[in-house]
Chain A
Amino acid sequence: EIVLTQSPGTLSLSPGERATLSCRASQSVSSGYLAWYQQKPGQAPRLLIYAASSRAADIPDRFSGSESGADFTLTISRLEPEDFAVYYCQQYDSSPWTFGQGTKVEIK
């Protein structure tokens, strides 16, 4: 089973700042099989990024995904008030499909 480790656990930032979230896999994950989700309290997860860098439908372009070796990154270029939430990465390269433990982006 592939273990995904997200860092940091919590990111304290102000609106307008840039957020950089990391996701590292315990085994090789092809870039075609890495997704990012946003989850707000009491809501279901929402797909933001798939295939490491493709934005899902209706996702603003301030959200972007990238890959560097074994590390995957979600970047929010300028935080809007509605972006404060928990973010999960997921690999779907190898079953069982697994999620990272999440990064909480909170208002500083």
Chain B
Amino acid sequence: QVRLVESGGGVVQPGGSLRLSCAASGFTFSSYGLHWVRQAPGKGLEWVAFIPHDGSGEYYADFVKGRFTISRDNSKNTLYLKMDSLRTEDTAVHYCAKGDGGSGSPDYWGQGTLVTVSS
């Protein structure tokens, strides 16, 4: 079965950096695009970034452009999100999600990792 396990969350000061990881299993990792989606405490879901199956491009929401970098290592079945210049408003649970093979929309989700940006 598809399994996605995020890690790397924690508390960081404003302006700081953090790298999230998402370890995947149960499907052919190199065949699917992957997403990062976040959810601030008590708020709704926000799409953050997408990377195609072969890492041939990176696509971002406007609010993270230039600050976050999505990447993947198909040899390790792992997705990453490098977050720089963090702001208090980036505080959220960050989920990784597998993209559907057709439309690319998120289908399977991990349990999320909490990032808290606070001084």
Q: Do A and B bind each other?
A: no
